[in-house]
Amino acid sequence: MTFLLHWITTDCRFSGQIRSASKKTTDKMTGRPVGDYYLLKTSKARVYHSSSGRAVPPNAFCSEAAAFCTDSPIVFPASVDNGGAETGPDYDCLSSQPNPTWYYMEIVTPGSMTIDMTNSNVVDIDFAIWGPFAPGTTNDAACAQISGGALLPANCSFSGGAAEQANITAVESGEIWMLLITNYSNDPTDISFTKSAGSATANCQIINDPSIPTVGEWGMIIMGLLTLIAGTIIMRKQPVASARV
């Protein structure tokens, strides 16, 4: 499990990551400004950094895909200078797959679904979506099928546009679908995707504990907002339950 601690100043400005701890069970910091706020997040995934120094979402790999549902849009910072997607899958129309980000969903209501993808800086993004996978299929099992190279995406686009649209039809309850979105432009941008049409819906209960807010762009759990009243912070690891691993 990985700890991430972010500093939020007293005027609520986000000032970036100041500490991550992935191996120690306890982490102690001293000399931090009194009165500031700290956002503590945790994930069982590793923490990655691109050559540009920008943080890379842990779901840059198929097996670490983050869950999403159809209740609200997902927005995440696209990675930059993060190379291509993993070898093995047949990416079909995607001649290249730079700066990949993976998500998965579990269908609840059968039917069809349209997923619209846009980005804040209006740069070139692309996508591919694989499925259906049988109910209960884990990320590892789905990715093993994808990585075998024999499973083509159900839908993909390698257009030069800043907006993409995925369409899947005749989906059934319990099916698993894997979505890959790439930042072809290699420019910093925030990518947003959401269901825009269709009767099918996705399961929101798989996004960890629904009573705890999630950070959609990294698929992490917000563990708490700390107000510093002394100059020392101690972080201790605690297990996080997940509905699907």
Give start and end residues of each alpha helix (H) in 34-147: 139-147
Burial of residue 12 (number of CB atoms within 10 Å: 0-12, 13-18, 19+): exposed
Query: d(Cα 41, Cα 63) in Å, to the nearest integer?
Result: 20
> In this predicted structure, what is the pLDDT of residue 112?
98
Q: Which ranges of the chain have pLDDT less than 70? A: 1-58, 208-245
Q: Which residues of 101-119 are buried (b: 16+ CB within 10 A; e: fewer)?
A: bbbbbbbbeeeebebebbb
Q: What is the residue type of 157?
A: S
- With 0-12 / 13-18 / 19 or more C-beta atoms within 10 angstroms meaning exposed / middle / buried, residue 162 is middle
Asked if residue 199 lies in contact with residue 187, where contact means CB atoms within 8 angstroms, the answer is no
Rg, Å, the chain Cα set: 19
Centroid of chain to Cα 234? 27
The answer to whether residues 238 and 55 touch, using CB atoms and an 8 Å cutoff, is no
Whether the model pTM is above 0.75: no
Among 117, 105, 75, residue whose Cα is nearest residue 207: 105
| pLDDT tens digit sequence for 158-177 | 999 999 999 999 999 999 99
pLDDT at residue 33 in the model: 53
pLDDT of residue 130: 98
Domains of the chain: residue spans and CATH:
2-236 (2.60.120.680)
For position 150, what pLDDT does the model report? 83
For 1-12, write each residue's pLDDT tens digit.
334 444 444 443
